[in-house]
Structure 1
C-alpha cells in the first residue's frame, strides 16, 4: 500500500538544512529543554534546522500568496499569521519542540514575530470540570472550551490586533482568571496541544469547524507507548522533587512520597488517564499531520515523515 508520506532517517533529513546556520547557543538550548529531555545541539542541527528551513519556505510562500490575493482583490487586506499546529501525547516533548521551532524561526528575516499558543489555556477551569464531574478526564476533548479556541484562531486569521487568549498555570493546575496572553499580529503562531488535530464527530448535519482548519502546517510528535510511559514517570519523579515542593502546587500532596509510592501513583495516572486518552483521541490524529517526528527511547528523533504534496 502506497504511503502518503516521504520517509527520512535522521541522516537524510539532516542534509536538507542546506547551509542554514545554527542560531541557538548552548546556553539558550539549556533554557529551551524540557524537564526530562536530553536535548543536544546536534539534535537541533540534524532535526530542527531542516524543519525550520522547510517552515520558512512554507511561510514565505504563504506570504506571497497573500500578496497575490491582494492584487486580485485590488485592495490591501489585513496581515494574517502562518499557523503551525503541534500535536502528540503527554510527555512526548511537544512543548520543547515548540520552543525550539519558535527560537529558530524568529531568526529568519521574513517572520521575526513568532508566538506560541498552548491549548492548556483553553481547558475549562477546575471548578467547571468539577461541576460537570469530568475532573478525572482533564485533557480529554470534552474538557476544553473548543469554541473559545476556535474564536481566537478565527480572530488571528482575520488579521485582528491584540487578540487575547487565556493562560494556564501548571503550578496551580488551573486557569489564571486574571491573566491573558496578547497576540498582536504575529508573523507565525505555533498552536501546541494534545488535542489540536482532533476532529469530533459532528452532532449536526452541517459540517463542523475544526481547530486544524486554521492550520497552514501541522506536526505530530510520536513515540512508542512504552517510551511515553517511562518519560511520564521520570518527569513525575523530577517534579516531585522540584515543583511539587511548592505549597502553592496543586500536586503538593505528592511532595513527600517515597520513590515506590510516586512510581505507583504516576503509573496509575498514566494508565487510567493519559494512556486512555492517547489511544482513544490523540494517536488517531497522527495520520492527519503534514509532518511526523518519530522519537526513539532516548527522546531523540530518529525518523521523519513528510506528507507528499
Structure 2
C-alpha cells in the first residue's frame, strides 16, 4: 500500500499502533460521516503503518459491501443507500474473520464513485496483511465491532462536512460531464444552482439523518477520535 506523505498526526498514531502490534493480523477501522475524508485518512494511516514497520497493510472500503444499485431498487432501499440495511454485512464479517485468522488470498468487492455502484466481477485481493485498514460509513457499525481491534473515528463539524460534500459533488459533476457512463452525467446540462440544490437535498434528507442516527454513535465506541478542522488539518480529539 502506497500513498502520499501522511499527516503528522497519522504518523504518530501509526507509530503508537506499531509498538503494540498483536501476534495475529488485526483490523483497524476508520469510520466517520459523509465527506469527512475517511478514505484519505485510511490511505495515509496505511502508508504510515508500513513506514513504522507494521506492514504489510491492506485497505478495504465498506462501500464495496453496499448492495448493488439494482438490488437496492428491488428491495425498495434506493433512498436508504448508506444506511445499515443497505450493506451486505454478513459478507463483510466473513472477510474480517478470515483476515484475523490469517487466511488468504481473499477477495473484497469494489465500489466506484464514478458509477455510484459496485463494479461487477471486480475485486481487491487481500493477501494475509498484518493490518487491514477498513474505512467507510459502516466501519464502526456495532454489528462488526467484535471483529475490529482498533476503532478510529474521523470527526468534523457538520457545516464543514457539508461544504466538503458540496465541493466533492462539484468535482464529480465536472468529471462526469463528458463521461456518458458516469452516474452524474445526466446532470451535465442542469443549471449549477439547481444541481447543487439537488445535492444539498440529498445531504439534508439522506446523509445527515444517517450520520446522526447510525454513524455518530460509533464515536463513543472509538479508541481514537481524529478531529478534522478547517483546511482538513487533523488533530487527536
TM-score by length of 1: 0.72
1:258 aligned partner: 191
1:159 aligned partner: 102
Question: Aligned to 1:220, what secondary structure does the other structure show?
Answer: strand
For residues 130-149 of structure 1, the C-alpha deviation after alignment (integer angstroms, 9 at most, x for no partner) is: 01111111000000011111
Post-superposition offset of 1:270: 0.4
Matched-pair contact (CA < 8 Å) for 2:152–2:224: yes
Matched-pair contact (CA < 8 Å) for 2:29–2:148: yes
Post-superposition offset of 1:182: 1.5
Post-superposition offset of 1:123: 0.7
Q: For structure 2, list consecutive stretches of 5 or more residues without a partner in the other structure.
A: none
Q: For structure 1, list consecutive stretches of 5 or more residues without a partner in the other structure.
A: 1-23, 30-40, 64-79, 200-209
2:236 aligned partner: 304
1:81 aligned partner: 25
For residues 73-95 of structure 1, the C-alpha deviation after alignment (integer angstroms, 9 at most, x for no partner) is: xxxxxxx4221000000100000
- Write out the 4+ residue segments of structure 1 that deviate beyond 3 Å after TM superposition: none
2:141 aligned partner: 198
1:106 aligned partner: 50
Distance in 1 (CA, whole Å) between partners of 2:11 and 2:111 is 29
- Whether 1:94 aligns to 2:94 is no
1:58 aligned partner: 20
- Whether 1:217 aligns to 2:156 is no
Distance in 2 (CA, whole Å) between partners of 1:170 and 1:57 is 35
- Whether 1:121 aligns to 2:64 is yes
Distance in 1 (CA, whole Å) between partners of 2:111 and 2:177 is 17
TM-score by length of 2: 0.93
Distance in 2 (CA, whole Å) between partners of 1:213 and 1:92 is 24
Match of 1:147 among 90, 95, 101: 90
Question: Are the structure 2 counterparts of residues 87 and 254 from structure 1 closer, same or farther at C-alpha, using a change threshold of 3 Å?
Answer: same
Matched-pair contact (CA < 8 Å) for 2:57–2:131: yes
Distance in 2 (CA, whole Å) between partners of 1:235 and 1:103 is 24
For residues 241-299 of structure 1, the C-alpha deviation after alignment (integer angstroms, 9 at most, x for no partner) is: 12454111112112233321222111111001100101111111111000001122322
1:272 aligned partner: 205
For residues 96-135 of structure 1, the C-alpha deviation after alignment (integer angstroms, 9 at most, x for no partner) is: 00011111112233x3311001111111111110011111
1:10 aligned partner: none
